[in-house]
């Protein structure tokens, strides 16, 4: 009985260490990925119908007892410049900031990135656009080692975890800083009067920087490149209805994710003088996130991780969105699905750990353009 309890508690320790150290080699993600364009693809910098765009998104993930295990707010501001002076083209510049708090601030990542993009218009009425973007900035990670518990700090006769191991703590640095870069490509085309298709690719962590958290080199981590492919469409199915399907696939090291679904919008108010771009619209969507489940050896298969209902509205130049991640499986520490021991799984008491997001974007302009050189801006 004592042996089983010890095994369960040690497994809880291992789970927390995996969250704290292994996750540091993986980047953030958002369910409303188009609501955070500068974290999705630098080619989307300045890609909107206006002069400036200000936006923010907040994600709270896995919150037992009201305290989220992961918390990620992000802000961005970007500008669409030289419209009219470059004929059909435009230049985008922007600034993106996010902070990611993992395992109740045991690991805190802060990133500030500058973005630059060029948008090339092709065809009659600028119906096809190709965008190329780059990002560069600074990454700061801080580690609160006092929150860590190591296996040899466990005492069977002493009632559990009695102390932290001084040797491991002494070797850990409180933080690391480094420069990082990303690049991206985005293409959209109006294939019919009422249908626009689009797709993009971004390559993140160019140069694969190394995070040197340990003075002895044991816990140093190379940040793997992250490849992101995202495609979608906007179909004006009727005068008051728009349908927006989409797929996102990303992979980093041994981690993979696919996010797919469809959002439908209903134009509560039509603005015919704005060429269909300043309607008042309500949106509702249903999406699914899947990640690979490793079954044996190198073989893997995709298993359902969560369904994601989305709600949102667009009033002229304001966009608001909300999403709820509902996992399709419960957290457990044993093979038979029962919650055992202490730590992460026990804190949920067998419940599904929900996550939620809210986003808000405003697209503004200081004056009416002499010529409407519309830049397509994917949404929701």
In angstroms, the CA 373 to CA 371 distance is: 6
Residue 323 forms part of a structural domain: yes
φ, ψ at 170 (rounded to 5°): -65, -30
In angstroms, the CA 160 to CA 333 distance is: 18
Residue 375 forms part of a structural domain: no
Residue 352, helix vs strand vs coil: coil
Residue 96 forms part of a structural domain: yes
Nearest to 200 by CA among 187, 191, 182, 189: 187
- Count of structural domains within the chain: 1
Question: Domain of 157: which CATH number?
Answer: 2.40.160.40
- pLDDT at res. 239: 87
Residue 370 forms part of a structural domain: no
Nearest to 43 by CA among 137, 220, 151, 182: 182
Q: What b/e readout covers 65-101, taking b as 16+ CB neighbours within 10 angstroms?
A: eeebbbbbebbbbbbbeebeeeebbbbbebbbbbbbb
Residue 172 forms part of a structural domain: yes
In angstroms, the CA 27 to CA 127 distance is: 34
Residue listed under structure tokens 């009425």: 125
- pLDDT at res. 292: 72
In angstroms, the CA 210 to CA 278 distance is: 46
Q: Which residues contact 335 (CB under 8 A, 6 or more apart)?
A: none
Residue 378 forms part of a structural domain: no
| Tokens read off for 115 | 């973005």
- pLDDT at res. 270: 80
Q: For residue 93, give its domain range.
A: 2-364
Burial class (CB in 10 A: 0-12, 13-18, 19+), 270: middle
pTM: 0.82
- pLDDT at res. 15: 40
Residues 65, 75 contacting (CB under 8 angstroms)? no
Residues 53, 36 contacting (CB under 8 angstroms)? no
What's the average pLDDT block by block, 10 residues per block, for the chain (380 residues)? 38 39 59 95 95 95 69 95 88 96 81 97 87 96 70 53 54 80 96 94 90 67 90 93 96 88 92 67 95 57 78 93 86 46 49 84 82 79
Residue 266 forms part of a structural domain: yes
Residue 374 forms part of a structural domain: no
């Amino acid at each position: 009985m004592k042996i089983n309890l010890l095994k369960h508690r040690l497994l809880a320790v291992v789970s927390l260490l995996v969250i704290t150290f292994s996750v540091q080699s993986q980047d953030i993600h958002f369910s409303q990925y188009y609501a955070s364009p500068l974290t999705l693809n630098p080619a989307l910098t300045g890609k909107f119908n206006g002069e400036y765009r200000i936006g923010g998104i907040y994600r709270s993930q896995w919150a037992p007892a009201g305290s989220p295990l992961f918390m990620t707010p992000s802000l961005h501001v970007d500008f669409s410049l030289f419209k009219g002076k470059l004929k059909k083209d435009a230049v985008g510049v922007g600034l993106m900031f996010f902070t990611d708090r993992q395992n109740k601030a045991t690991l805190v990542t802060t990133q500030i990135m500058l973005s630059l993009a060029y948008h090339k218009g092709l065809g009659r009425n600028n119906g096809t656009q190709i965008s190329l973007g780059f990002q560069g900035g600074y990454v700061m990670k801080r580690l609160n080692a006092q929150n860590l518990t190591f296996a040899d700090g466990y005492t069977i006769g002493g009632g559990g975890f009695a102390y932290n191991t001084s040797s491991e703590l002494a070797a850990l640095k409180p933080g690391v800083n480094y420069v990082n870069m990303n690049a991206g490509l985005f293409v959209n085309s109006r294939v019919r009067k009422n249908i626009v298709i689009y797709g993009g690719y971004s390559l993140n962590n160019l140069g694969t920087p190394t995070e040197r958290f340990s003075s002895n080199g044991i816990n140093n981590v190379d940040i793997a490149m992250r490849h992101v492919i995202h495609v979608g469409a906007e179909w004006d199915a009727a005068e008051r209805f728009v349908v927006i399907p989409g797929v996102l696939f990303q992979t980093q090291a041994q981690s993979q994710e696919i996010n797919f679904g469809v959002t439908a919008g209903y134009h509560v108010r039509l603005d015919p003088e704005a060429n269909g771009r300043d309607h008042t619209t309500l949106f509702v969507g249903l999406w699914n996130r899947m990640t690979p489940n490793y079954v044996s050896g190198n073989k893997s298969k995709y298993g359902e991780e969560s369904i994601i209902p989305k709600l949102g509205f667009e009033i002229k130049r304001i966009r608001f969105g909300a999403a709820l991640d509902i996992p399709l499986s419960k957290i457990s520490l044993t093979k038979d699905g029962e919650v055992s021991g202490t730590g992460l799984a026990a804190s949920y008491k067998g419940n599904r750990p929900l996550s939620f997001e809210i986003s808000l974007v405003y697209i503004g302009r200081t004056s009416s353009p002499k010529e409407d050189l519309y830049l397509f801006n994917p949404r929701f």
